[in-house]
Structure 1
Amino acid sequence: MRSSRRSPDVRTTAVTPWVLGVDSGGSGLRVALAKASGNGRPDTGHAATTASREPVRTGPAGIDAAHLLDQLLPMARALLDSAGDPDAGDRHGGSTPPVTIGAVAIGAAGMATLGDDLRARLPGALKSALGVRRLALAADAVTAYAGALGLRPGAVVAAGTGMIALGTDLSRWRRADGWGHLLGDCGSGAWIGRAGLEAAMRAHDGRGGGSRALLARVEAVFGPAPELPGLLYLRADRPAVLASFAPEVARCAAAEPADPVAAGILREAAGHIADAAAAVCPPSGECEVALTGGLFKMGDPLLVPLRDALAERLPHARTVPAAGDPLAGAVRVAASLATDGLRLPVDGRLLHVPTEQGS
């Protein structure tokens, strides 16, 4: 028997069933290794994680598979090394049985539209490097869904800088928004921030619909209002810069007295979020709706109007807390794949499961 657990050809009857979950987004790459249990759930008590703050690059072919692998493989091997059982050698003739990966699930921002290079290159590369034969490639909205609700029907709204809603009855996916700050992401951090900045500029000009309170916050955060276009328009990270102003809108809405323009922006944002949730909820029966993402840390200035908007648009829905984040969702998808328990709909883009490679 070969003793290296990095060889893709290692075979043994005494292996530890592990799964690897990956979350790739604008803030970098996060990887988790966990044991898979027989019921398709990961054993979070035996999970280990690591992270890189370098986001995976995109290029003409979309998300760069080579750059993702350059980061992922060393991180995965380090986690595998730390997962080895130092006492196992005494029980297996003096050599430690390898820790093998039963399945990998990778959730990536932009997978649905920019994932062609990942879909083409990762199955072979991960089989060659780590012996992986079961792989799921998912949009980050899918791993957010799995983290929030698990593998049951419902709807999830994932909102931070952007905003996307995803729902399923376990036969197909229903998606709303997630089209970026120029075409959509309505109600997102970028949308709220941009609306707040517009209201500030209206106040600067003396036009109707402006907010002196928001103008004061613009000048405190960015400097003189007339310089704002030059600070924004040339930025490659413009959505993040717009979203950075969303907390200022929330503060103005929560002030005593509340700024009516800021409060109105958050009410409109809540309406957009509720519209997206209503568009993706399974049409029959009660629908569970989970909210996940940094936007909802704004608290009551957004959540109070959002509860009202959800009650109006989805009177039969029940809002539930998100059980976990997208990394937890990636681990959950991998664990269910490893145990033949994946119930979420598989399609070509939102959740792609390549044919299992032969042993």
Structure 2
Amino acid sequence: MTTLSVPQTAPVLALDAGQTGIRAELRAGGAVVASQEFDGVLTDRPVIPQLARAAVEALSGVEPGDRPSVLAVGSSGLTDDMRAEELLQLTREAGIGHVRLAHDSITSYLGALGNVTGVVTAAGTGVVTLAVGTRDVARVDGWGHLLGDAGSGFWIGRAALDAVMRAHDGRGPQTALTPLALEEFPDLEAAYMVLQADEHKVSRIASWGRTVAELAKTDEVCREISARAGRELACSALAGLSRVGEDQRPDPALSTVGKVFSSPWIADAFREAVLARHSQARIVPAHGTALDGAALLPTVAPEDALATHIRTA
């Protein structure tokens, strides 16, 4: 199938699908016409039907004549066998005629830097880094909470609860996290069973990332967790630059997106680790969000480096 770019002002339903939530926006003429939020993607279940349900529901209150024909989605949990054709088939009755589907690393990149070379690390419940060179594109991490996502909200939340259990056992220092953990888990020794039985365990554990950020100012354990997270995120960004040859530039461009970086302790540790390797690196504020990046998917031209990473139907 020939991939055609679509003008940025054309109507589009954009979805940013993460493990904590799915954000949907109907955009026309470059403006947001309507927006909705839905429950997050459960990556241990088929992802495409979940995306389709969100898209159809987002369009349910829109008059048929006002519905866009283009659906653009950035999602976590995508694997190579997940096809845009399936998403098109499941949304066709809602008026969708064209689909652009990409991993959320692609949409985070587009939203943050645009279609230029550099690296973007997106850290929320999970984390993924995307690096783009003049010819190559490399994804770093984003391997899920069981095998990766180093420095993510889940990673931080798990480290927080690990610190609580270490303090409980006498294997680690006391922490201000413990009283808060006892509010949620009165029997700490049963906490692991409670979490194992919770189908939303990933987002539940990740929610402790906010607690770590709030306590980092006064709690040494939380400060250390935050610093470790920042260094892990920088490690991924630096690896990405190396893989696409951007580490040979004197001033590579880096950007970060996601709520994890709202912690000054994490942001500072990230910056320190990056500048220790590339003293002239440009760490630039994100121009937009992953949802903005999703809306830009239809504008990517076939000759662009990112085009081969966007599934079309």
- Bin for the TM-score computed over the shorter chain: 0.7 to 0.9
- 1:278 is aligned with what amino acid? L
| 1:180 has 2:152 as partner | no
- 2:274 corresponds to 1:291: no
Cα 1:184–1:48 change in 2 (3 A) is same
Structure 2 partner of 1:88: none
Alignment of 1:272-287 (within 5 A): 272-281=232-241, 282-285=246-249, 286-287=251-252
Cα drift, residue 328 of structure 1: 0.8
- 1:182 partner SS: helix
SS in 2 for 1:111: coil
The aligned counterpart of 1:119 is 84
| Offset at residue 273 of structure 1 (A) | 0.5
Q: Say if 2:202 is the partner of 1:239.
A: yes
TM value normalised by structure 1: 0.73
Contact 1:296 / 1:303 at 8 angstroms: preserved in 2?
yes
Instruction: Give the fraction of aligned pairs with identical amino acids, expressed as a percent.
Output: 30
Partners of 1:342 and 1:293 in 2: how far apart? Answer: 29
Cα offsets for 1:88-142 (capped at 9, x unmatched): xxxxxxxxxxx864x44221221235x52x4342345666763635x32101111
Q: 1:138 — aligned with what?
A: 102
Count of residues in correspondence between the two structures = 300
Q: Deviations over 1:147-198 (max 9, x none)?
A: 1111111111111111111111152321111111111111111111211222
Which ranges in structure 1 are unaligned for 5 or more consecutive residues? 1-15, 36-42, 84-98, 355-359
Instruction: Show the 5 A alignment for 1:4-83.
Output: 17-35=10-28, 43-44=29-30, 46-55=31-40, 62-65=46-49, 67-73=50-56, 75-76=58-59, 78-79=61-62, 83=66
After the TM superposition, which of the residue ranges 103-112 and 186-195 deviates more from structure 2?
103-112
Cα distance in 2 for partners of 1:215, 1:70 equals: 39
Is residue 157 of structure 2 the alignment partner of residue 193 of structure 1?
A: yes
What is the root-mean-square deviation in Å for CA atoms of aligned residues?
2.9
Letter of the aligned partner of 1:343 in structure 2? D
Instruction: Give the whole-Å Cα distance in 1 for the aligned partners of 2:134 and 2:23.
Output: 27
Q: Which amino acid aligns with 1:107?
A: G
Say if 1:156 and 1:165, in contact at 8 Å, map to a contact too: yes
Post-superposition offset of 1:254: 0.5
1:330 aligns with 2:294: yes
CA–CA distance in 1 between the matches of 2:197 and 2:18? 22
Following the alignment from structure 1 to structure 2, what is the Cα–Cα distance between the partners of residues 261 and 59? 32
CA distance in 1, matches of 2:176, 2:163: 10
Bigger shift: 135-144 or 312-321? 312-321
Q: Contact 1:20/1:32 (CA < 8 Å) preserved in 2? A: yes
Equivalent position to 2:279, from 306, 311, 315: 315
d(CA) in 2 for partners of 1:308 and 1:242? 27
Q: Structure 1: how far apart are the matches of 2:286 and 2:303?
A: 19
The letter of the residue matching 2:197 is: L
Taking structure 2 as the reference length, what is the TM-score of the superposition? 0.83
Q: Structure 2: which 5+ runs fail to align?
A: 1-8
Shift of 1:56: 5.6
Give, as a single letter, the amino acid of the residue that structure 1 aligns with 2:34. T
Cα–Cα, structure 1 residues 177 and 32, in superposed 2: closer, same or farther, change >3 Å? same
Contact 2:71 2:96 in 1 (8 A): no
**How far does the alpha carbon of each residue in 1:315-345 deviate from its partner, in whole angstroms, 9 at most, with x for none?**
34211111111111111122x14xx477342
Question: Aligned residue for 2:312?
Answer: 353
Taking a change above 3 Å as real, the CA distance of residues 131 and 203 of structure 1, as seen in their structure-2 partners, is closer
- Deviation of 1:310 after TM superposition, in Å, equals 1.9
For 2:78, the aligned partner's letter is: M
Task: Give yes or no for contact 2:20–2:203 (8 Å, CA) kept in 1.
Answer: no
Work out the CA distance in 2 between the residues paired with 1:191 and 1:111: 20
User: 1:276 deviation in Å?
Assistant: 0.4
Q: Is the partner of 1:161 in helix, strand or coil?
A: coil
The answer to whether the 8 A contact 2:48-2:87 is kept is no
Q: Distance in 2 between matches of 1:59 and 1:252?
A: 32
Highest CA radius of gyration, 1 or 2? 1
In 2, Cα distance between equivalents of 1:291 and 1:231: 33
Q: For residue 279 of structure 2, give the secondary structure of its aligned residue in structure 1.
A: coil
Are residues 138 and 214 of structure 1, via their aligned partners in 2, closer, same or farther at CA, if it must alter by over 3 Å? same
User: What is the rounded CA distance, in whole Å, between the counterparts of 1:151 and 1:100 in structure 2?
Assistant: 24
The 1:216/1:138 distance shift into structure 2, 3 A limit, reads: same
* Other structure's SS at 2:291 match: helix
SS of the counterpart of 1:112? Answer: coil
Corresponding residue of 2:230: 270
